[in-house]
Amino acid sequence: MSALGAGEPAGGSGHDAAVAAEVVMYRTAHCPYCHRAEALLKKRGVTAIDTIRVDIDPARRIEMAERTGRRTVPQIFIGNTYVGGYDDLAELDSEGGLIALLAGKTYP
């Protein structure tokens, strides 16, 4: 499942003009850190998150652990960059890196 439709230009419908990168978040339904991460991403202009519900799909939970080496949720990817969990996302934001990654730039 993709937040961007096939052939849809980055920054097209579903994204703020400043948000070019696809955002992927592994999460569960009842997870305070996931809600915080979603709120921060929305605050920074993200309108579409490719959400992977590991609580209803055990295979995706295994995939998450293999991709990240972690078992907690959320686990967040922006474009080709693995960000980490909510704490990592908030730290990245405080450094200015979140806006950069969302704009499709590399960081640092």
Ligand X SMILES: N[C@@H](CCC(=O)N[C@@H](CS)C(=O)NCC(=O)O)C(=O)O
Minimum CB–partner distance for residue 20 and ligand X (Å): 24
Q: Which residue lies nearer to ligand X by CB, 14 or 35?
A: 35
Residue 40 binding ligand X, by CB under 6 A: no
Strand 81-84 versus strand 23-27 pairing type: unpaired
Centre a 10 Å sphere on the Cβ of residue 50 and count the other Cβ atoms it contains: 14
Residue 73 binding ligand X, by CB under 6 A: yes
How far, CA to CA in Å, does 90 sit from each of 4, 33, 61? 24, 11, 23
Minimum CB–partner distance for residue 37 and ligand X (Å): 7
Which residue from 31, 48, 99, 100 is in contact with ligand X, where contact means CB under 6 A?
A: 31
- Residue 7 buriedness (CB in 10 A; 0-12 / 13-18 / 19+): exposed
Q: Which residue lies nearer to ligand X by CB, 4 or 24?
A: 24
Residue numbers at the binding site for ligand X (CB under 6 A):
31-33, 71-74, 85-87
